[in-house]
Amino acid sequence: MTISLPKPWDVFVVGGGPAGLATAIAARHHGLSVLLADGAVPPVDKPCGEGLMPDGVEALRHLGISVPEGESYPFHGIRFVNGSTKAEAEFPRGTAYGIRRTNLHRLMTERADASGVRFLWQSAVTGLHPEGALVAGELVRARWVVGADGTSSRVRDWAQLSPRNLAARRSKDFRFAFRRHYRVAPWAQAMELHWGDRSQVYVTPVSHEAVCVVSISSDQKVRLEDALVDFPELAGRLEHAEYASNERGAVTITERFRDVYRGCTALVGDASGGIDAITGEGLCLSFRQAALLGECLAVGDLARYQRGHRALSRRPVLMSRLMLFMAHHNRLRNRTMQVFQSSPRSFAGMLAMHVGEGTTRRHISHGIALGWQLMTV
């Protein structure tokens, strides 16, 4: 393959998922020339919960992408279900949308194309080079290279940004998600998260006639049908529904890296660290990282990107760890759910913190109030 151009590209993006597309669009907004390469053919699917929280919808809007109602399903809050205990709250502002991953990828690809991004689909990136990167062994000259190639990022390894003990840490932190769509009308104007002793299952409405159901467990042998056995009410709703897709699996992990750039190479999205899928915030975090990276590439300041990346990740990582702590400690989860059910304001405060609404002082106040209620239940 030969890329014939009078000058190098400003930005070469490795990975054509949402994080890579968002970065490409953001870089074009700042007038940079962008080439994106991926080994797949669009639209690219990936197992995920397919929910865009209000902050994710807003981040997309800043990239010039609107979510069409005909290809999505609006919902207005979150519902936690723990056995017979339930808690529900609406988002402080904005609307969330359930949208099939293939629809989202197509919308983002179309926006990137309209912005002037050039694509190399079905193209294997085989390494980095002092002047850019190698595609099928051929040099693509670029000022900046962005690794948006996911959890098992090869760009991260090539740039020597992976910590030495990464494999050991992942072996105990990996969780396994399985997704399937069911042809059934949504029964709630909320995304549901069902808590169980060995797994969590969340349900996102993605159209007027389909829902996306995802199970997450630390045990890779617990597939979706196995998980549903622990949730008889939910299983009953899905019992006679037709499958609208095949079951697909993926790995989810919460991890942070000390460095997200080296020299002229930067990481974004899951390649730069991840949060557990239980939060539903992975896409939004990727979009915000991409917007920041676009700005920093334009001014040539990746040190600023690293500082901003750390700040953007702080709240989602905290929420991920809190929710995983609930998942792993049944007694605490049961007590917390009792408080949420009896005190809707407590659950609404938690949801506001989850989606980044409200002040730090207010979140601390809610945390203290929740702690007091847990001690007195």
Residue ranges per domain, the chain? 9-46+100-170+253-321, 175-252, 328-376
Q: Which of the four pLDDT bands, split at 50, 70 and 90, describes residue 13?
A: very high
User: Kind of pairing, strands 242-243 and 138-147?
Assistant: unpaired
Query: What is the mean pLDDT of the segment spanning 345-353?
Result: 86
Query: What is the mean pLDDT of the segment spanning 316-338?
Result: 89
Q: Which of the four pLDDT bands, split at 50, 70 and 90, describes residue 358?
A: low
Q: Could you give the CA distance from residue 245 to residue 176 in angstroms, rounded to a whole number?
A: 18
Question: Do the beta carbons of residue 255 and residue 170 sit within 8 Å?
Answer: yes
Residue that has been written with the tokens 């990282």 in this structure: 289
Query: Where in 220-364 does DSSP place strands (E)?
Result: 242-243, 248-252, 255-256, 261-262, 265-267, 273-274
- Alpha-carbon distances of 223 from 46, 196, 237, 324, rounded to whole Å: 17, 14, 18, 19
Please classify residue 93 by burial: count the beta carbons closer than 10 Å to its beta carbon, then call 0-12 exposed, 13-18 middle and 19+ buried: exposed
Residue % of the chain over a pLDDT of 90? 70
Query: What is the mean pLDDT of the segment spanning 68-94?
Result: 93
Give the least confident one: 124-133, 155-164, 167-176, 248-257.
167-176
9-46+100-170+253-321 in CATH: which number?
3.50.50.60
Q: Could you give the CA distance from residue 284 to residue 278 in angstroms, rounded to a whole number?
A: 14
pLDDT the model gives residue 162: 80
- DSSP 3-state of 264: coil
pLDDT for 315 beyond 70: yes
Question: Do the beta carbons of residue 289 and residue 272 sit within 8 Å?
Answer: yes
Helix axes 18-29, 282-299, angle to 10 degrees: 30
Q: Could you give the CA distance from residue 286 to residue 289 in angstroms, rounded to a whole number?
A: 5
Residue that has been written with the tokens 């915030």 in this structure: 281
Q: Which CATH number fits domain 175-252: 3.40.630.30, 3.30.9.100, 3.40.50.1010, 3.30.530.20?
A: 3.30.9.100
Question: Do the beta carbons of residue 64 and residue 115 sit within 8 Å?
Answer: yes
pLDDT for 130 beyond 90: yes
- Alpha-carbon distances of 14 from 31, 48, 366, rounded to whole Å: 19, 21, 42
Mind listing the pLDDT tens digit for each residue in 30-76? 999 999 999 999 998 888 879 999 999 999 999 999 988 888 999 99
Q: What residues form DSSP beta bridges with 77?
A: 90
Number of H helices, E strands in the chain: 12, 21
Q: Tell me the pLDDT of the chain averaged across its residues.
A: 89
Q: Which of the four pLDDT bands, split at 50, 70 and 90, describes residue 5?
A: very low
Query: What is the mean pLDDT of the segment spanning 275-281?
Result: 86
pLDDT the model gives residue 193: 96
Tell me which of 276 and 1 has the higher pLDDT: 276
Mind listing the pLDDT tens digit for each residue in 180-239? 999 999 999 999 999 999 999 999 999 999 999 999 999 989 999 999 999 999 999 999
Which of 5, 15, 10 shows the shortest CA–CA distance to 267?
Answer: 15
Query: What is the mean pLDDT of the segment spanning 367-373?
Result: 47
Q: Could you give the CA distance from residue 65 to residue 289 in angstroms, rounded to a whole number?
A: 16
Q: Could you give the CA distance from residue 363 to residue 179 in angstroms, rounded to a whole number?
A: 33
